[in-house]
Structure formats: structure tokens, C-alpha cells
């Protein structure tokens, strides 16, 4: 039955067999090594970077090793979305996001499908006297293989500014010559560009979610899920924090695996899953249960 009754959070002392539709308390690299090759069609996560937040402990992760493990367990045509930014020290950016992108392409094996800008629409924060205010992060979209196995642009369409107007004029060809464009009406919707604007998590009013010091908007995750996965697909978050990826996956009829090294954050994710997916309608549960899904043994070694 899906969405599942939320499984207890695993602890390092009593670690049962990892399973789908659960939050696993452990080191993501160790858990990923228990997963079969090409088991995951989509990974979505936001790693800690540049000590911008205090996570109650100096958690350290190996960017290069993580890229190789995520690549290994990603299906051909699968995607990995990494939401990340760069810290500033001595008036210079850390370039952490750029280093991750280059390493994952040059060494792990991914290709960079796109680098989108996550524009944060929220509280501008403190006064900025000697720098520009930072109101963006990056959404690095990594691809394994030649083309995405799934790409649904329809859920991400946005209104056209000139909808209904008659468009005409000329267009320049590759040889430099001009051609006349036949008049046609502008469609009411168009495919979005590479700047994705969202209200920050502070605006969502989810107090339970905000117990975690660093979150991203539910809508951001939902847009990625709807574009790059289908109902019944497995979605992985190797650093699931407050559980946003897992919650949104369950709400959209996807299976999920969340991994989180901090037991306090695992508790938040588990509580969110119970509170935000436990009340889903019987019809939604029955519909989700009809999908043909793999058993945990087909995903974990």
C-alpha cells in the first residue's frame, strides 16, 4: 500500500535492512553502497555547503565520492538535481557549486543537463553595505546517459506575456540570411526558462519543517519531480534534512528513500511524513497502490 505507514527511523545501533518509503538514519555513502546499480531514476537534494548553517555538528561529506555513488545507482537516462549555493569569505565566492558541477561531470560520469537559477522571493535579510544581496542558489540538473528518460514540461509551463497577440516578423537563419515568419497567435502558455522563482520556506508557514535550519520550498521539489519522474518512480534524497523531498514524493504518488545522518532531523522528517501524508484520501492510496513497483530487495543489495 502506498503511501506507506511511515516506518520507524533507523538508528545506527539497530539498523534493519534498508527499505523503500522510509527515512534511514545513517551516512549517505554507506547506505548508497547498499543500493543496486541503476536502481534510482531521480535524486533530489540540497547538501550542506560552506558552513553557512550550523547543523549542531560539523558534518563533513566527500563531494567526489558522493557523485560517483549517485552516478552508480542512477538509471540510464536518470537525473540528479542538486540545490546548492556558494558562501562568501574575504569578499570572494567559494565556488563550491562550480567545483561540484565540474567534478561530477569530469570524474563521476554525469553530464550537466542544465544549470537553473533558484531565485528566492522572500525576506531580503540584513542590510548589504559592501556586497550585493544574495537572493539566488543554483539547481544543478545532472543527467546520466544521452537523454532524460522522462521529461514532462507541461506541469512547468508558465503564462505567455503576449498570449493571443499575432506574432510576425523575420528570423535569421544559420547562414545569416533572413526569412519571413508567417503570422500566428502567441500561445497562452510557454515553456519556462532557466530562472525559477519561489517564495522561501519561511513563507510556507510550516512550523515543523522550520525546525530544520536549512530548507527549500516544497514547490521547487514538486516541479522537479513532475518534470523528471512518473508516478510510481523512486525518488532518492541522500541528505533529506526535514524530509521535504520525501513528503513531496509521497504526495505525488512517488516512492522515496530518504537518508539523513542527524537523528534529530530524521525525527523531523518522520513527523512530517506522518502529518502531511497520513491524511491522504483513500482514493489516492488505492490509485497509488495500482502502480507496479519493485520490492525493496530489487533496490538494496
Average pLDDT of the residues of the chain? 84
Using a 10 angstrom Cβ sphere, with 0-12 exposed, 13-18 middle and 19 or more buried, the burial of residue 63 is: middle
- Residue 11: per-residue pLDDT: 45
Q: Which of 233, 250, 258, 225 is nearest to 2 (CA)?
A: 250
Query: What whole-number distance in Å separates Cα of residue 45 and Cα of residue 292?
Result: 25
Q: What is the pTM of this model?
A: 0.84
Q: Are 243 and 23 in contact (CB under 8 A)?
A: yes
What is the pLDDT at residue 182?
A: 82
Which residues, 6 or more positions from 226, have their beta carbon under 8 angstroms from its beta carbon? 152, 155, 156, 252
User: Is the model's pLDDT at 141 over the cut of 80?
Assistant: yes
pLDDT in the model for residue 139:
98
Taking 50 as the threshold, does the pLDDT of residue 248 lie above it?
yes
Question: Is residue 258 helix, strand or coil?
Answer: strand
Which domains, from first to last, does the chain contain? 12-157+192-298 (3.40.50.150), 159-191 (no CATH)
Which pLDDT band, with edges at 50, 70 and 90, does 113 fall under? very high
pLDDT, tens digit, for every residue of 58-75? 566 799 999 999 999 999
Does the pLDDT of residue 186 top 80, yes or no? yes
pLDDT band at 56 (very low <50, low <70, confident <90, very high): low
pLDDT above 50: residue 132:
yes
Mean pLDDT of 44-52: 80
Beta-bridge partner residues of 81: 44, 141
104 backbone φψ class: left, alpha, beta (φ>0; ψ -120 to 50):
alpha
Angle at 20 between CA 300 and CA 110, to 5 degrees: 65
Q: Is residue 51's pLDDT more than 90? A: no
Amino acid at each position: 500500500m502506498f503511501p506507506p505507514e511511515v516506518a520507524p527511523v533507523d538508528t545506527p545501533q539497530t539498523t534493519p535492512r534498508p527499505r523503500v518509503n522510509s527515512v534511514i538514519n545513517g551516512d549517505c555513502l554507506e547506505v548508497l553502497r547498499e543500493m543496486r546499480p541503476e536502481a534510482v531514476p531521480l535524486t533530489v537534494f540540497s547538501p550542506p555547503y560552506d558552513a553557512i548553517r550550523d547543523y549542531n555538528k560539523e558534518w563533513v561529506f566527500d563531494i567526489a565520492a558522493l557523485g560517483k555513488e549517485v552516478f552508480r545507482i542512477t538509471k540510464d537516462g536518470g537525473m540528479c538535481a542538486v540545490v546548492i549555493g556558494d558562501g562568501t569569505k574575504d569578499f570572494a565566492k567559494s565556488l563550491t557549486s562550480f567545483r561540484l558541477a565540474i567534478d561530477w561531470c569530469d570524474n563521476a560520469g554525469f553530464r550537466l543537463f542544465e544549470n537553473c537559477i533558484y531565485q528566492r522571493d522572500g525576506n531580503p535579510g540584513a542590510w548589504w553595505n559592501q556586497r550585493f544581496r544574495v537572493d539566488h542558489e543554483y539547481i544543478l540538473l545532472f543527467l546520466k546517459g544521452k537523454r532524460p528518460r522522462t521529461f514532462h514540461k507541461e506541469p512547468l509551463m508558465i503564462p505567455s506575456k503576449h498570449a493571443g497577440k499575432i506574432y510576425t516578423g523575420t528570423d535569421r537563419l544559420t547562414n545569416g540570411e533572413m526569412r519571413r515568419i508567417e503570422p500566428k497567435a502567441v500561445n497562452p502558455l510557454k515553456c519556462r526558462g532557466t530562472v525559477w522563482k519561489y517564495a522561501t520556506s519561511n513563507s510556507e508557514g510550516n512550523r515543523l519543517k522550520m525546525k530544520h535550519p536549512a530548507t527549500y520550498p516544497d514547490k521547487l521539489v514538486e516541479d522537479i519531480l513532475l518534470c523528471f519522474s512518473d508516478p510510481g518512480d523512486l525518488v532518492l534524497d541522500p541528505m533529506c534534512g526535514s524530509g521535504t523531498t520525501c513528503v513531496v514524493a509521497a504526495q505525488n504518488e512517488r516512492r522515496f528513500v530518504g537518508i539523513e545522518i542527524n537523528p534529530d532531523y530524521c525525527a523531523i522528517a518522520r513527523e512530517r511524513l506522518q502529518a502531511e501524508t497520513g491524511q491522504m484520501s483513500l482514493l489516492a492510496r488505492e490509485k497509488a497502490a495500482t502502480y507496479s513497483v519493485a520490492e525493496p530487495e530489487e533496490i538494496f543489495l
